[in-house]
C-alpha cells in the first residue's frame, strides 16, 4: 500500500504540474477575449453586430484547426512516451505543415462564404462595411491561429512545456493587446476597423514567438514515469 500511495502522489503531482498551466492559459485567454468584447461593446452598436457575426464565422472556420492541434498532441505525446525523440520531432514538423495548410483553407473558406453570410444576415450599410473588413481580417487571423494552436496548445503541451502558453498569453493579451486596444478605443478613438485589427494582432504577435520556441525543441521531453 505505501508503494501504491507513493505512485498516486507522484502521478497527482505530475497532473497538477502539467495541467494547471493549461487551465490558467484558458482562463487568461478567455478573460482577455471577454475584455476585448467589452471594449468593442463601448464603440457603437454597428460594430457590436458586425463583430458578433464575424466571431461566429471565424470560430466555425477554425474548428478543423483545433482538431489538428489535439491530434498532433496525441501523436507527439505517443512518440515522446516511447522515448523516440526523432519520430516526435518529425511528427511535430508534419503537424505544423498540416496546420499551415488547414489555416490557409480556413482563411479561404471565410472569403468564399462571404456572399452567403451577407445573404443570411440583415445589417445596415455601416455594419455591413464593418463586417466586410472584419471577415478579411479574420481570414488572416485563422492562418496564425491554426499554427499557434498546433504548437502552443498541442505540441508544447504534449512535451510538458505547458507553462509557455500561459505566460505567452498573459504577456501578449494582458500587457500588449488589451492596453493598446483601450488606448485605441477611448483615448485615440481610431476607426472601428483599425481597432479590430489591433484586437486581432494577438495571434500574429505570438506566431514568431511560438516558432522560435518550437525551433529550440525544449518541448522534446518524455514526461511519462516508469514505476516498474
Q: Is the pTM of this model over 0.75?
A: yes
CA 10 to chain centre: 30
pLDDT at 1 over 60: no
Q: How far apart are the first and last CA of the chain?
A: 15
> 64: which residues sit within 8 A by CB, 6+ positions away?
102, 105, 106
At residue 192 the predicted structure's pLDDT band, cuts being 50, 70 and 90, is: very high
64 vs 122, residue with greater confidence: 122
Amino acid at each position: 500500500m505505501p508503494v501504491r500511495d507513493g505512485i498516486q502522489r507522484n502521478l497527482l503531482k505530475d497532473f497538477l504540474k502539467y495541467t494547471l498551466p493549461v487551465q490558467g492559459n484558458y482562463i487568461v485567454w478567455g478573460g482577455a477575449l471577454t475584455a476585448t468584447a467589452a471594449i468593442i461593446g463601448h464603440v457603437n452598436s454597428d460594430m457590436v453586430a458586425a463583430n458578433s457575426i464575424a466571431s461566429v464565422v471565424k470560430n466555425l472556420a477554425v474548428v478543423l484547426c483545433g482538431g489538428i492541434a489535439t491530434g498532433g498532441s496525441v501523436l507527439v505525446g505517443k512518440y515522446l512516451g516511447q522515448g523516440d525523440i526523432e519520430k516526435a520531432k518529425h511528427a511535430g514538423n508534419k503537424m505544423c505543415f498540416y496546420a499551415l495548410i488547414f489555416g490557409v483553407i480556413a482563411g479561404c473558406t471565410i472569403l468564399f462564404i462571404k456572399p452567403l453570410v451577407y445573404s443570411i444576415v440583415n445589417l445596415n450599410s455601416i455594419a455591413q462595411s464593418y463586417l466586410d473588413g472584419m471577415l478579411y481580417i479574420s481570414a488572416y487571423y485563422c492562418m496564425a491561429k491554426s499554427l499557434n494552436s498546433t504548437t502552443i496548445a498541442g505540441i508544447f503541451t504534449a512535451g510538458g512545456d505547458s507553462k509557455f502558453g500561459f505566460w505567452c498569453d498573459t504577456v501578449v493579451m494582458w500587457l500588449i493587446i488589451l492596453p493598446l486596444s483601450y488606448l485605441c478605443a477611448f483615448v485615440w478613438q481610431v476607426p472601428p476597423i483599425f481597432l479590430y485589427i489591433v484586437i486581432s494582432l494577438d495571434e500574429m504577435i505570438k506566431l514568431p514567438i511560438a516558432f522560435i520556441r518550437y525551433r529550440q525543441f525544449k518541448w522534446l521531453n518524455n514526461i511519462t514515469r516508469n514505476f516498474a
